Chain A
Amino acid sequence: MTRKKVKLAFIANDSARKATYKKRKRGLMKKVNELSTLCGIDSCAVIYSPYEAQPEVWPANPMSILGQFKKMPEMEQSKKMVNQESFLRQRIAKAKDQLRRQLKENREKEMTELMFQCLIGKEVHSLGMVDLNDLGWVIDQYLKDVWNRIEAIKKDPAKAAGLPAGQVACLDVSREEKPFGAVQHHQLPQLQWCSTFLTAGSAKQPQFGGAVGDPMTMMAGYGSGGHADPGGAWTSNPYSYILDSKKWE
């Protein structure tokens, strides 16, 4: 069967409409049958059309099922009852919800990729406010994951992926002991990563809740980091940290 996209509107052409009706009616009845069989449940369908004097029904005698239905209390009958309008509204709501989730997921993936690019030298200056906010959020999330994994390995070294022979963790032993977050930047004000697409699920204009540190403090904090120099591999670009990664492989 060729799959042409059908416009969801009343078919104006009489013969085309009748042909479509015949095909789809047959398909619909087949689906009702399959549903009953596969799931072992009772169901029925009644169709009134201008093309037939009698209503189309499945099963041949739906009376017992209709009776079963009518016997139920009104509330039970109407609880899951829909007409075209309510059914479509339900579908729209569900699709919109899925779309929102997918957009958020995609945004997170995008920002994670951006994060990796920044780690190897992409300029942070070029980013707009919304991107910066989302990037900050993603970095925080990733830091948590990295930290948790480090902790897990320390607790159970058997879990660690094997280090190639001869390679050793070259970072400060003292740093390993420090609790997460207190590594060196405790003098910085805590910035709240606020409502953006990622954190609140809707793109709002970011407003900062935390105190604004003046650039001088931030510079100082950044400079006094005290990261270990693993044997003089540092250059002026801190992110060359990652670029020198070949020694870590």
Chain B
Amino acid sequence: MDQIERKNKGRRKIKMAKMEKESNLLVTFSKRRSGLFKKASELCTLCGVQIAIIVFSPGKKVFSFGHPNVETIVDRYLTSPNFSSPQPNNNSNINMLEAHRSAKIQELNAEVTQVTTQLESEKKRGEALDKMRKMNQNKCWWENNVSELNLAQLQHLLVALEELKIDVAKEAVMGASTSNQIVPYMGTYNDTYPGSNIFNNL
């Protein structure tokens, strides 16, 4: 009983030592490196600081994140590791550039947030659809996975689907021919007629 319960119940605390399985290690590296850069980016936006992060991959490639860029931070540190040399704030050109950059960043941040929330809601919708299908499978045998059906059911389904296919094709053809008739006349009407807005995207 205990063994079954322990199979990955959500997030589990992992051991802080080099991972044993190489495949897991590579996946972990990829995910955590990405998450690390994300946190660094957020810190820059929220607190207006300058950061450089350098990460060597298990395959000896190097990943780096830098704000405003990696080279200036690295060089700055290498020349004087002990001092935060004050940034020149009197040059108006630099300030303009900084302002422009941060406006762009703001835009991009907003876009990421927007797309991510959309993605999350679509994922939820997908889960809801799965759940509904699963519920239906109890009542309707034909909604079960194809691999769960017996030969008679499959043949039954095959014929029913073929018939439906014909009906759909018939309906589609008729729809296509009627819309071809109406569209050319759109220009001759002064007032739009009820329902004419459905052709607005043609």
List chain A positions with a Cβ less than 8 A from chain B: 6, 8-11, 17-18, 20-21, 24-25, 27-28, 31-32, 34-35, 37-50, 52-55, 57, 62-63, 65-66, 68-70, 72, 76-77, 79-85, 87-89, 91-92, 95-96, 98-99, 102-103, 105-106, 109-110, 112-113, 115-116, 118-120, 124-125, 127, 129, 132-133, 135-136, 139-140, 142-143, 145-147, 149-150, 153-154, 160-163, 167-171, 175-176, 183-185, 188, 191, 205-206, 208, 212-213, 215, 218-219, 221-222, 225, 227, 238-239, 241-242, 245, 248-249
Contact = CB atoms under 8 A, between A and B. Distances in A.
Contacts of A27: 39
A48 B75 CA distance: 13
Contacts, number: 369
Contacts of B78: 66, 70
B69 A83 contact: yes
A24 B42 contact: yes
A146 B157 CA distance: 8
Interface in B169-185: 169-177, 179
A150 B112 contact: no
A176 B165 contact: no
Nearest to B31: A35
B96 interface: no
B186 interface: no
Give the dominant DSSP class at B's interface: helix
B32 A34 contact: yes
Closest 4 CB pairs of A and B: A88-B108, A21-B47, A49-B49, A43-B55
A38 B28 contact: yes
Interface in B32-78: 32-33, 35-58, 61-70, 73-74, 76-78
A146 B119 contact: no
Interface in B151-172: 151-172
A88 B57 contact: no
Interface of B: 14, 16-19, 25, 28-29, 32-33, 35-58, 61-70, 73-74, 76-78, 81-84, 101-102, 104-106, 108-113, 115-116, 118-119, 122-123, 125-126, 129-130, 132-133, 136, 140-143, 146-177, 179, 201-202
Q: In the complex, which of the residues A47, A132, A163 has the most CB atoms of chain B within 10 Å of its own CB atom?
A: A47
B18 A37 contact: yes
A183 B161 CA distance: 12
B39 A28 contact: yes
A55 B126 contact: no
Nearest to A242: B160
B64 A82 contact: yes
Given A28-B40, A37-B18, 18 more contacts: A39-B29, A45-B53, A63-B81, A66-B77, A83-B70, A84-B105, A85-B105, A87-B41, A116-B140, A132-B172, A150-B151, A161-B150, A191-B173, A215-B174, A218-B170, A241-B163, A245-B141, A245-B156
A148 B64 CA distance: 49
A79 B61 contact: yes
A244 to B, nearest CB: 9
Nearest to A17: B47
A204 B33 CA distance: 38
B62 A146 contact: no
A129 B151 contact: no
Contacts of B133: 109, 112-113
B125 A169 contact: no
15 contacts: A6-B46, A17-B47, A17-B48, A24-B47, A38-B18, A84-B45, A84-B67, A87-B41, A92-B108, A109-B126, A146-B154, A149-B154, A153-B151, A171-B156, A219-B170
Contacts of B32: 31, 34-35, 38-39
B62 A66 contact: no
B43 A124 contact: no
